Amino acid sequence: MVECKSQTSGVAKSDAALLHEKTLDFYCAKPRLFSRERWWRILASSTPVSESIRAFCVWLGIVLVDPEHLPLPVVLRVASRPVADMHLREALLQDAVRLGERAQLALQERWAYDAQAEEFWLEPTILIPREIRDLLWLQEELGSDILDLYDLHRPGALELRSERLLEALRPT
């Protein structure tokens, strides 16, 4: 589920909270059906997002996409590759995988539905505040390192990919 925001004031906590509530309401409407699926909520912002909103999104399990950071799933995918430690700092990679896997749980894994009891179970402390701060720092550090590697080994590759994506999204 994706929500895109292009606001001069940027994304507010209320935007993230509203996305969370809308998707949770949708899930709760048909839990027997939807509990077998896996949904990731994505909030895309055309403007930079504050640290507190980034942390709030991680806490809610929302993937935030903003112009200043590589999205957490991208960082996690790179960090979990077997050859990543040949190019990136190993200690950072280990922490990114350890924290990132928990941060990127699907909605149905955060809000598990017990069909027999007809109850939802929430794990509210998937990440504690210190771990969220650490994960955001890792996102910045590894994201920067990953972009540097692209510039070194595949100059222009990300720009070309962006152009192709924009071309595919343009109405015909």
Q: What is the pLDDT of residue 61?
A: 95
Check if the beta carbon of residue 75 is closer than 8 Å to that of residue 95: no
Cβ neighbour number for residue 140 with a 10 Å cutoff: 16
Cα gap 88→146, rounded to integer Å: 8
pTM: 0.89
pLDDT tens per residue across all 172 residues of the chain: 999 999 888 899 999 999 999 999 999 999 999 999 999 999 999 999 999 999 999 999 999 999 999 999 999 999 999 999 999 999 999 999 999 999 999 999 999 999 999 999 987 789 999 999 999 999 999 999 999 999 999 999 999 999 998 899 888 7
| In the chain, where the domains are located | 2-169
